[in-house]
Amino acid sequence: MIYRAVFHVDLDEVKPFAIALSNISNLLRAIPEKHYDLVLLCNGPAVVLLQSDACAPHREEIWQLQQARVSFKVCRNALNRFNIDPDNLIEGCEIVPAGIVTLIELQQDGYAYIKP
C-alpha cells in the first residue's frame, strides 16, 4: 500500500498552515518505513505563507519534510494574483499552473484530501 495524501492550505493564516505541517509530521511518524507520496498544496491567499520571510518560524520543519520527500506545491495563479515573485518562495517549492486543477488531478489519482 502507498499512502497518498494532499494537504490543502488556502488561507493566509498561520494556524492551519502549522496544523498541516504537524499533520504531515505525525503521519510520517505513524507510517515509518512505509511507502508514501505526500503533498502540501498552497493556493489562494495561502501562497504568502511560503515566502521566505513568512515561513521563517517553520523553516526547519519544512526542510525536514522536504528531506522526507514531501512535495510543496504552489499555485502560479495565486502568486500572480497576490503579486508574489516566485524567487521569494522558500527553496524546494514546485509551482503548478493552477492549484485547483492540481487538487482535482491528485484526487482523481487516489490521493486523500486533507484540509487542516
What's residue 106's pLDDT?
A: 98
Q: Residue 109: phi, psi to the nearest 5?
A: -85, 5
Can you say whether residue 110 is alpha, beta or left, with left for phi > 0 and alpha for psi between -120 and 50 degrees?
left
Is the full-model pTM beyond 0.75?
A: yes
Burial of 114 (0-12, 13-18, 19+ CB in 10 A): middle
What's residue 57's pLDDT?
A: 92
Q: What is the pLDDT along the chain (116 residues), one digit of tens a residue?
A: 899 999 999 999 999 999 999 999 999 999 988 999 999 999 999 999 999 988 889 999 999 999 999 999 999 999 999 999 999 999 999 999 999 999 999 999 999 999 99
Q: Which CATH class is domain 2-114?
A: alpha beta
